[in-house]
Amino acid sequence: MPAKTRYLNARVVRNEDERLLTGRARFVDDVDLPGMAHVAFVRSDYAHARITAIDASAARSRPGVFAVYTADDLGEYSQPAPLLVPPPPIEDLIFHPRTHLPLAREKVRYVGEPIAMIVAASRYIAEDAIRDVVVDADPLDPVVDLEAGLAPGAPLVHEDLESNAAAHVVQRKGDYAAARARADIVVTRRLLYDRGAAAAMENRAVVAQWDTQAEELTIWDTTQAPIPIRNGLAAKLGLLQSQVRVVAPFVGGGFGPKIMMFYPEELLVPWAAMRLRRPVKWTEDRQENFYATTQERGQVHDAEMALTRDGRILGVKDVFLFYTGAYDPYGLTIPINTQCTLLGPYDIEHYDSTFTAVFTNKPIVTPVRGAGRQHGVFVSERLLDIAARELGIDRVEIRKRNLLGPDRFPHNHGIMFQDSAPLIYDSGNYLPTLERAAEMIGYEQLVREQAARRAEGRHVGVGVACYVEGTGIGPYEGARVTVEPGGTVRVATGVGTQGQGHYTVFAQIVADVLGVDVRNVLVVTGDTREFQWGTGTFASRGAVVAGSACHAAALAVRAKIAALSAQLLNTQPEDIAVENGRAFVRDAPDRGFALGELALKANPLRGAVRPGTEPGLESTAYFGPDRGSTASGVHAMIVEVDPETAMVKIERYVVVHDCGAMINPMLVEGQIHGGVAHGIGNAFYEQLVYDEQGQLMNASFMDYLLPTATDVPPIETDHRETPSPFNPVGLKGVGEAGCIPTGAVFAQAVEDALRDLNVEILEIPMNPNSLFALIAGAGKP
């Protein structure tokens, strides 16, 4: 092992920032190729309609238009997109996969669904030609609401199915009915939790170039998962995987929707580039992003929690409905996350959870940062708050009484997680995290002073909510580490990077193992030519899974360094130290080589490479955890509410978080800060509003409110480190932690602030309008 750790758990400044801050980082929209054509899409104006005719002749004859494609023009290429995540093996699970076509045929199922693709000399011409395409469509009654969608006689989104139910899943453990019969109190509520758009700074974009001489297709794509996209497109286009290169360069935010979706645009731009034999580019505009990029939406929970008089949870029963949108290519990841995360850090012996996923005439739902975990946390945290109130137990105390103790790990929850593995928590120590958060926010003092503040007419409230986050799931990632003859270390891995700081954290891991300066480690991600095995960036797994692969590859290179140095220096590998960019005899530091020099010696021009050895100082390694590692944390918040205007001011926000061993605390905090901002948006600002015809009514930043810098308070953080036993560095993911309990803690704090008005918050987002209505209705029957 390395003599000392220099970079792990250090606030290393990001390697990528110089390029980003000086405008030298390449994004997909920066790709500009000679002869490049530009694309615009004709999209459905209707949420649900039958297409009777499409006349594209005027568009085709517009000067500057190279081609217009409709579903009929695609021939064999018009196939449904793949099912990306098959459902886990849960008994009696019902799931109807219905995936999107590249271009709608016969029927459109949501506003924004692509109907025709226009390829032209410029985006201006392509956009103008949209108006030349005449689509005759007979509107059908749309399905816009979950419960109405399941009612008998509801219009069918997919007419080959008997109902709009896309899936039905029951997961049970223990005997909830018996637990309920024993309970002193049962708290029952209907809880609504809605989510919105990912609203990444960079919209999606795809550029494709077919090299007719090399017979190679290069695709620049804002995807989070370039390797699955490469594999899928090669198969669809009849090419070898080695003929297709997918590059996901710098990407301005992923947050989930840029996963390997095989979006229509992603399928069609490369196809058109091959057919037209010219580079083709499409960049999504902000409005398209609101309908053409996947989003997350609401769930309706009818939930109950059975407890003893002293506040111990005996069991939870939950029945919920989930919007999957018009198609369900991402399977059941979100509702299963909800189902599993509802259990949180608590010891819940009896659990009975049923959900029904519903097709509706709205855009496709796939994970957005948090991916359904918010919904589950909201349900359990709200029920606990209400139980605490009814039992007269303090809110923090009731949580303490139900936390899993440190002696309970690994903890098998007895149900299946989204990665098709049993939900087993690897490690955790929840109580100190909760105590620290309560201490940092000054919980007890605030509760003591609350009466006095209320007497002054001030409505100040505090909230404290716990959560866990399943992170770092399989199947695997890989990495290749190479010492270049100049001494620079190069790391290539397959995951895409969207701003997380991969170029820094992977460099830190490798720099520590190889004893080199972290600035001397160059990381390449998201280019299938550089590394072609792996899956992608999702489920807070980049640092955990790809980071562990980098660690393994670096260890293998270190072994080669030690073996070769020992051979050249006539000593044993275990006597070799690798530090400060050199390999040397530990007891005689003058005897050794710079790593670059050793790399040259490892690639000799004469002699022989002996059997069992390889040239160069390079290794490739893979890491595949059996299951994810479970991070945890506690958020606490102080708010002041003005009951007259229903405006909420967040006074303080505290996050105490445990993501196992930290590679870079500064980047961990950055993830938390961004996540909390995302969560505050979800709690109080953002909502996708559809009318009864399925029209999205706020598809612009004029109407879709994102929190700005002035709406997000300074976030105070502290860390606990309970290493994961599932990977060698002890890592757990942190990408989604900041936004998971935000809605729950916001509801609790606002409710606490308005305690004298007896307001109960059962819905997120809780914007000023809905809060105003709650306050106005408070105390009325």
Partner 1 sequence: MILEGTFTFSGPRAVVWDLLQDPAVLAKALPGTERLELVGDDRYEGVMKVSVGPVTAAKFDVTVALKDKVAPERFTMQIDGKGGVGFTRGTASIALTEVDAQSTSMAYSSNVQVGGKIAAVGQRLIESVAKMMMRQALDALEQELRARLAGGAASA
Interacting residues toward partner 1 by CB under 8 A: 45-47, 111, 130-131, 139, 287, 290-291, 691, 693, 695-700, 702-703
Nearest distance, CB of residue 61 and partner 1, angstroms: 17
Nearest distance, CB of residue 131 and partner 1, angstroms: 3
Cα separation, 539 vs 218, whole angstroms: 27
Closest CA to 277 of 229, 217, 233, 220: 217
Length of the chain, in residues: 781
Q: CB nearer to partner 1: give 103 or 696.
A: 696
Q: CB nearer to partner 1: give 697 or 776.
A: 697
**Cβ 383 vs Cβ 402: under 8 Å:** no
Q: CB nearer to partner 1: give 40 or 753.
A: 40
**Cβ 430 vs Cβ 346: under 8 Å:** no
Nearest distance, CB of residue 112 and partner 1, angstroms: 9
Q: What is the CA radius of gyration of the chain?
A: 28
Residues linked to residue 577 through DSSP beta bridges, in sequence order: 584
**Taking the chain, what is the end-to-end CA distance rounded to the nearest angstrom?**
68
Nearest distance, CB of residue 98 and partner 1, angstroms: 23
Q: CB nearer to partner 1: give 97 or 155.
A: 155
Nearest distance, CB of residue 292 and partner 1, angstroms: 12
DSSP 125: H
Find how far residue 116's CA is from the centre of its chain: 30
Q: CB nearer to partner 1: give 111 or 561.
A: 111
Nearest distance, CB of residue 293 and partner 1, angstroms: 14
**Cβ 77 vs Cβ 236: under 8 Å:** yes
Cβ within 8 Å of residue 353, ≥6 positions away: 170, 171, 172, 316, 317, 318, 319, 320, 339, 342, 415
Q: CB nearer to partner 1: give 47 or 510.
A: 47
> Do the strands 134-139 and 49-55 form a parallel or antiparallel pair, or are they unpaired?
antiparallel
Nearest distance, CB of residue 730 and partner 1, angstroms: 47
Nearest distance, CB of residue 100 and partner 1, angstroms: 19
Nearest distance, CB of residue 265 and partner 1, angstroms: 17
Nearest distance, CB of residue 49 and partner 1, angstroms: 10
Cα separation, 464 vs 382, whole angstroms: 11
Q: CB nearer to partner 1: give 614 or 703.
A: 703
H runs (alpha helix) in 23-116: 57-60
Q: CB nearer to partner 1: give 120 or 393.
A: 120
**Cβ 365 vs Cβ 327: under 8 Å:** no
Nearest distance, CB of residue 120 and partner 1, angstroms: 15
Closest CA to 229 of 92, 104, 84: 84
Nearest distance, CB of residue 706 and partner 1, angstroms: 16
Q: CB nearer to partner 1: give 28 or 111.
A: 111
Return the exposure string of 700-731: e unless at least 16 CB atoms fall within 10 Å of the residue's CB, then b. Answer: eeeebbebeeebbbebebbbbebbbebbbbbb
Q: CB nearer to partner 1: give 142 or 515.
A: 142
**Cβ 17 vs Cβ 23: under 8 Å:** no
Omega cis (within 30) before 270: no
Provide DSSP, 544-612.
IIIHHHHHHHHHHHHHHHHHHHHHHTTS-GGGEEEETTEEEETTEEEEEEEHHHHHHHTS-SSS-PPTT
Q: In 604-669, where do the E strands start and end?
A: 618-623, 629-642, 647-658
Q: CB nearer to partner 1: give 111 or 712.
A: 111
Q: CB nearer to partner 1: give 138 or 159.
A: 138
